[in-house]
Amino acid sequence: MFLSAANAQSSLKSTNYEITWPNLNMAAGGSTSPGYKMGITAGQTSPGLYSSYLSTGYKIRAGFQYIHSIIPFSFKISPWALNFDTINPDTLDNNQSLDLTVNSGAAGGYQVKVQENQKLTSTANSTIADTNCDVADTCNQNDAGTWTQTTTYGFGYNMTGTDVPSEFTGSKYKGFANVGIGSTGTPVKIMGRVPAAGPEGHVAGKNKTATMNARINVSNVQAAGTYHNILTFFAIPTY
């Protein structure tokens, strides 16, 4: 009987490539060179992208490569603040906008949510309430409504653009979710798509853009002053 030594291979190398942790039955580790990176799916049943001629509405993405994103998640707001300057009463012309940009390759989709820390409040503690929209089609932090009357007062917003919830269609508005002391609000989704949302199923992509149009309308008896609050945005990828 002839015996030979058994050697454990810690890596596989060539002039241009190196494969570390070469547990090939499950493709552990990663493969890199100065010019390339390779993601590996192995040890799975039938990985790949599948679609059916029987349906144009569904695709199957099988394999770890659909979890490992080639599009890093990022979120940008421009500008950083809304400055309404002098507010004219009884008009719907007091508007300012923010542009939101998302890059998302997350397999589980993403969401952008917003909240306010308090009502618009002056240094003298006068407040401007969040809008409830027109009497004929009211709104709140969760449900959008119509805001077309100059006698409808408050602070609110609508959304347009990519991956915006369909309830904003038709230039409908909401009041902001107030999470301040004594309030019961929670952050509200203003942009995003997740696979479980049916027709809003996630499509990875770069430069997904949406615009928040914020509006203030006050009566001619609103106390003068400098009003402010803080809007907080949450950009959440799901892997």
Range in 19-33, 64-78, 98-112, 118-132 the model is least confident about: 19-33
Please report whether residue 150 resides in a domain: yes
**Residue 222 or residue 28, greater confidence:** 222
Asked whether residue 30 falls in the same domain as residue 116, the answer is no
pLDDT in tens, 143-163: 999 999 999 999 999 999 999
* % of residues, the chain, pLDDT over 70: 74
Cα torsion through 145, 148, 151, 154, rounded to 10: 50
pTM: 0.72
Asked whether residue 99 falls in the same domain as residue 172, the answer is yes
Asked whether residue 183 falls in the same domain as residue 220, the answer is yes
Domain limit, last residue, from 48, 66, 84: 66
Structure confidence at residue 129 as a pLDDT band (50, 70, 90)? very high
Domain limit, last residue, from 66, 84, 106: 66
Mean pLDDT computed over 216-232: 96
> What's residue 75's pLDDT?
96
The count of domains in the chain is 2
CA distances from 28 to 5, 11, 20, 42, 239 (A): 24, 11, 8, 9, 20
Asked whether residue 124 falls in the same domain as residue 44, the answer is no
